[in-house]
Amino acid sequence: MAESLAGDSAQPLKHVAVIMDGNNRWAKARGLPGHEGHRAGVERVRDMIESCRRHRVEVLTLFAFSSENWQRPALEVSALMTLFSTYIKKEAKALHERGIRLRVIGERERFSSRLQKRIADAEALTLNNTEMTLVLAVDYGGRWDIVAATRKLAQQAVDGSLAVDAIDEEVFAKTLCLGDLPQPDLCIRTAGEQRISNFLLWQLAYSELYFADCYWPDFDASAFDDAAAAYFQRQRRFGLSQEQATDAEDDRQLEPTRERVSA
């Protein structure tokens, strides 16, 4: 197994978010119906999980179905829902055996009661796993996430359990779907498109963006290595100047040495 490219990097790669794009175009290029592209895309998820484990990524969030995807042709939507349901049924036990926690974020009201139960059962089965967290964003939209968080905080303010002055960025962030997880360090989008398409709008504020030209079914371990390598070559500034960011990185790299000396 190849080693992580992180090494002693001052910028760890804890959370990777992926916009899995290009399934339909992949199928069309091969003269196949669109659902075959989605099926191939589901198979690629397993490889993505292994790549993340190899690079010691703690959280992998996959944009599987957006709020806007309901507008696609009915047959395609039906095929996507069937694939999603089948994936949950087949993979929940395998994920659990590997110590991976499964979480699904997004609205669930439009899912069938059977699918809602299947999701809940899979989440309950894997709830206490700590090796890695796999998040599937299904019927998810970044705007919906922000509006839902706003409504929760507004209701708490109306109920008197939360003072308006207490609402700040930290409180708001914790109210979002991924509020208990680290913010994404890297967001990957496949198929050459260069936009985030209403995905994790708040959470991606300072994420590094990487756009791959290949379709999602072709995004293999080597492609992930390229994305990770590009990430580790960048300097994350979070609003600082280049000099300030460099000094901060140097300080973080010295921390282990200081701990050994003090010990």
The yes-or-no verdict on residue 136 having pLDDT over 80 is yes
What pLDDT score was predicted for residue 164?
96
- Let me know if residue 246 belongs to a domain: no
DSSP string, 130-157: -SEEEEEEEEE-HHHHHHHHHHHHHHHH
pLDDT score recorded for residue 250: 54
pLDDT at 72: 86
Distances (CA, A) of 175 to 37, 63, 125, 244: 35, 20, 24, 31
In a domain, 150, yes or no: yes
207: helix, strand or coil: coil
In a domain, 241, yes or no: no
Residue closest to 172 by CA, chosen among 205, 131, 133: 205
pLDDT bucket at 9, cuts 50 / 70 / 90 = low
Tell me if 248 is assigned to some domain: no
Please state the rounded mean pLDDT for residues 209-217: 98
Q: Catalytic residue numbers?
A: 21, 69
User: Which residues constitute the domain of residue 108?
Assistant: 15-232
With bands split at pLDDT 50, 70 and 90, how would you rate the model's confidence at 23?
Answer: very high
In this model, does residue 247 exceed pLDDT 80?
A: no
Helices (H), the chain: 23-29, 34-54, 74-97, 113-126, 142-159, 169-175, 221-232, 242-262
Cα–Cα distance, 14 to 30 (Å, whole number): 35
Give tens-digit pLDDT for 29-82: 999 998 899 999 999 999 999 999 999 999 999 999 998 888 888 888 888 899
Place of tokens 């990957």: 188
Q: What is the pTM of this model?
A: 0.87
Structural domain contains residue 88: yes
Classify residue 205 by its DSSP letter: T
Give the CATH number, domain containing residue 191. 3.40.1180.10
Q: What percent of the chain has pLDDT over 70?
A: 86
Predicted pLDDT of residue 236: 80
